Amino acid sequence: MQARHIGLDDGKKVLSVEVVTGSGERVVSTRAVMKQAPMAFVFTGQGSAAVNMDMDRYQESSVACEIWNRGDVTQHVRFLHPRDGAQEPEVHYGALWR
């Protein structure tokens, strides 16, 4: 069985669910809508940022790297990364980049 998060519907998580046999034959294919657990986003404030902050995760983790890069491209926003040696925070809107 494989369940993938494919979107949101009125704040609920939408999943694509498939059950496949060992030979690859699809047995069941459906979508499910699930209520999400409450969550909070907590930010420490702008004064806590530093040049090269968290770049070790970006360089060592292919998952962290892919998520950061995907966020930049899909949002059409380029955040000036700590890896760029930014001394001041900058955001550039409206252009795709890699």
Domain assignment present for 80: yes
pLDDT of residue 70: 76
Domain assignment present for 42: no
Residues 53 and 30 in one domain: no
Query: Whole-model pTM?
Result: 0.38
Total domains, the chain: 2
Residues 53 and 87 in one domain: yes
pLDDT higher than 70, residue 76 = no
Residue that the structure tokens 């046999």 belong to: 21
Residues 54 and 83 in one domain: yes
Q: How far apart are CA 80 and CA 49, in angstroms?
A: 12
pLDDT of residue 67: 80
Residues 54 and 86 in one domain: yes
Banded pLDDT at 98 (limits 50, 70, 90): very low
pLDDT higher than 70, residue 12 = yes
Residue count of the chain, please give it: 98
In terms of residue numbers, what domain contains 19?
A: 2-34
Domain assignment present for 89: yes
